[in-house]
Structure 1
Amino acid sequence: MGKAILVGALDTKGKEFGYVRNQLHRCGIETIAIDVGVLGTPEFQPDISSDEVARAGGSSLAQLQTANDRGEAIAVMAKGIEQVVKGVLADGQIGGLFGMGGTAGTTLGAAAAKALPIGIPKLLISTVASGDTRPYVGVKDVTMMYSVVDIAGLNPLSTRILHNGANALAGMISQYEFESESVAGEKPMVGMTMFGVTTPCVTRIRDRLEREGFEVLVFHATGAGGMAMEQLIGDGYVKGVVDVTTTELADEWVGGIFSAGANRLEAAGLAGIPQVVSVGAMDMVNFGPPDTVPHRFADRRFYQHNPNTTLMRTTKEENRQLGMLLAAKLNQSRSPTVVVFPRGGVSLLDMAGKAFDGPEERHALFEAIRSGLNENIQLVTTDKDINDPSVADLIAEHFVRIFRQ
């Protein structure tokens, strides 16, 4: 059975980590305790000292103590713990990871968790787990449990929560099968991107690819979804991409809330895996409730998708820029690539008679892609809209063809 990595400040949270370690041992789980404390002597002897972590982060424990800069110390230890955990992972069989604390302890535990592959259990007990957890979870499968009370000593309530957390991790580790279970599985794994306004297209493609023997992962293109797909591509799990919904490029370019970062649409090309790309939902930029839309967009065209989601129509000039951006990213690709452009509409809202119908905007997007793409990238066009069944079939057929070639 794999060992559990414990990441924490054993000088200030040593009693709490000692309790969790003992509970894991009672469950039959061996542990590797990594100290990230910089203030004093650890409560118990760690397997990896805080000085080792600091040196992996480019400093030393003595230097951090002399500087007495909390922010710098956390930055160094976060960098170091990532390297240390990667080394531990390479040296042996790791079953899971446990961390806990306030903002600092959670930051360091999250840095360690993000260094582990998706699939290995990761659990953080945190005082900030009831708030915005995206900075800590990122695109990894990190489980966060709210501590309710501060992690400052052992009492009847805190021990119950720590007890539950330790048992939860022990249960995940005990059921994790290292040799017989793989994220990749036996079927080639394909990543797809979807939005509500491209669901009919994606559903039909997914059904077709599953019949063809592929395992299909569908990512909701809300920023985190695109980043997660790019991460899995980089980690080698995804063997092909059907990037139907590239709307995250629009949010990154224009300033919406669903950006997947500046490197979106690049991982497949770098990995050299086959990809078919379309322009799903490039007609929109996403914001929260109406009062969250920046004032500079006051004169734009909007659609209230639901009380918490406000969609803004992309302009002709924005579409031109987005087409150039998409082409530039794909031109860097080392992989077989096909672009499918549905001239009849790029979402359920961008069709004749619908709220975002925009023939001029679509034409600007198409011309920028057509003129910008290298000649070795095939551009396929159709007069249908993206959710027409024939478009889904066209995308699926091109993907199956280039994948098998």
Structure 2
Amino acid sequence: MSIYIVGTLDTKGEEIGFARDVIESQGIDVHLVDVGVMGDPEIEPDTDAATVATAGGTDLESLRETGDRGAAVEAMGDGAAAIVTRAHEAGRLDGVLGLGGSGNTSMATAAMRALPVGVPKFMVSTVASGDTEPYVGHADIAMMYSVADIEGLNQLSRTVIANAALAVVGMISRDPDVETEEKPTIGITMFGVTTPSVQTAREWLEAQGYETIVFHATGTGGRAMESLVEEGVIDAVLDVTTTEWADELVGGVLSAGPERLEAAGNAGVPQVVSTGALDMVNFGPESSVPEEFADRHFHVHNPQVTLMRTTPEENVELGRIIAEKLNAATGPVTVALPLGGVSMLDAPGEEFHDPEADAALFDALREHLDDDVELIEMDANINDEEFALALAKRIDRYM
């Protein structure tokens, strides 16, 4: 068994060397990957910085000459990702450990994000108590706050680093004995306001013998699902909740990026897609909503989440975009329209109920979807049992 440690050996050699010694004391091999650019390594690496730079599409001397820290961090992160990916594919890597500040964290987690879900990934970082989304993305990276800066060894840093090193050892040396079955796997997207629909569909599908994986459509959730489609983990997609596109279009905080709704189509896997929570754009606390939206219709979901109702004009564009994405699919696609509302808040009598906005969305989809994309329309809210079962039965038919 082997754990790769990714770090800047020109500045963190002492601390990384300590982590290596702790791991090796448990009978586990260690492979040191040096992503340091500006100086000579304080301890001997197994993969030196020049090799990492080459793997990142550049060379070490160029990075040193330019002195551009941002470019160096990006290039060395890319190189480390290539190094660990090759090692894992060759069966030489069982887990990855990183430790350092923001630069080290950026490079080490770039390497970690390149590895499949399930490969142990542990990052000790000075930035782990803040916004970790840029580092974790949609990967299963565990982050531990270093408490003090990782600069020299002392009673605090030794304890934190040793705990992290032993955590990775535990991850790779203990069989979790997770029960697995060879079942076709369906990815499902969910939001709080589409939960009843997803629960009904999931329970029905599991009763038919499928495994389901539910993703919270918070930007990272949509990206995680699409990544697993690309990896071949997911065999079909029940995309109940496409709300991330509302955030991408309007400027909310939960966008999954402009490639959302492409992975299943590119892979040719069956997909049933609905319009869940396209009635809303997500922001943080009320005070964080951009001033340009001051006259819009809002719902305070909780002190940390403020929802803004989408307009008919925005829904026209959402319908066009979603149709364009699904028209390009190489596999079977059904679009299901809940004419009675796209979320809990969009049901008759609820705060976001807006038949005009919904009609704009549905009309745009009808207009732009190609004839080979199947279209289901039901006079039901997305959370009604009959609608949820129609979604589940359609994906079952494809499978």
| One-letter identity of the residue aligned with 1:276 | V
2:121 aligns with 122
SS at match of 2:307: strand
2:71 & 2:133 partners in 1: Cα distance? 22
2:94 aligns with 95
| One-letter identity of the residue aligned with 2:380 | K
1:278 aligns with 274
Q: Go from structure 1 to structure 2 and tell me whether the alpha carbon gap of 1:289 and 1:69 turns closer, same or farther (over 3 Å shift).
A: closer
2:192 aligns with 196
1:376 & 1:389 partners in 2: Cα distance? 27
The structure 2 residue matched to 1:294, chosen from 279, 290, 298, is: 290
Contact 2:78 2:111 in 1 (8 A): no
What do residues 192-233 of structure 1 show as CA deviations (whole Å, max 9, x unaligned)? Answer: 111111111000000001111111111111111111111111
The structure 2 residue matched to 1:219, chosen from 215, 223, 227, is: 215
Q: How does 1:306-385 map to 2 (within 5 A)?
A: 306-385=302-381
| One-letter identity of the residue aligned with 2:356 | E
Q: Go from structure 1 to structure 2 and tell me whether the alpha carbon gap of 1:28 and 1:185 turns closer, same or farther (over 3 Å shift).
A: farther
What do residues 134-187 of structure 1 show as CA deviations (whole Å, max 9, x unaligned)? Answer: 11000000011111111111111110111100010100011257xx879x8511
Contact 2:280 2:308 in 1 (8 A): yes
1:31 aligns with 30
1:144 aligns with 143
2:189 & 2:167 partners in 1: Cα distance? 32
Contact 1:95 1:176 in 2 (8 A): no
Q: Go from structure 1 to structure 2 and tell me whether the alpha carbon gap of 1:148 and 1:57 turns closer, same or farther (over 3 Å shift).
A: same
The normalised TM-score by structure 2 is 0.97
Q: Go from structure 1 to structure 2 and tell me whether the alpha carbon gap of 1:254 and 1:371 turns closer, same or farther (over 3 Å shift).
A: same
Contact 1:192 1:217 in 2 (8 A): yes
- Listed as ranges, the gaps of 5+ residues in structure 2 are none
What do residues 82-121 of structure 1 show as CA deviations (whole Å, max 9, x unaligned)? Answer: 1112221222242100011111111111111011111101
2:119 & 2:358 partners in 1: Cα distance? 43
2:181 & 2:66 partners in 1: Cα distance? 49
| One-letter identity of the residue aligned with 1:379 | L
2:110 aligns with 111
Q: How does 1:384-399 map to 2 (within 5 A)?
A: 384-399=380-395
2:217 & 2:39 partners in 1: Cα distance? 45
| One-letter identity of the residue aligned with 2:21 | N
1:356 & 1:115 partners in 2: Cα distance? 40
1:164 aligns with 163
1:288 & 1:92 partners in 2: Cα distance? 43
2:115 & 2:237 partners in 1: Cα distance? 23
Identical positions, percent: 51
Aligned-residue offset at 1:62: 2.3
Q: Go from structure 1 to structure 2 and tell me whether the alpha carbon gap of 1:97 and 1:231 turns closer, same or farther (over 3 Å shift).
A: same
2:303 & 2:219 partners in 1: Cα distance? 20
Q: Go from structure 1 to structure 2 and tell me whether the alpha carbon gap of 1:340 and 1:86 turns closer, same or farther (over 3 Å shift).
A: same
| One-letter identity of the residue aligned with 2:76 | M
1:4 & 1:101 partners in 2: Cα distance? 17
2:70 & 2:353 partners in 1: Cα distance? 50
2:128 & 2:154 partners in 1: Cα distance? 20
| One-letter identity of the residue aligned with 2:129 | S
| One-letter identity of the residue aligned with 1:59 | T
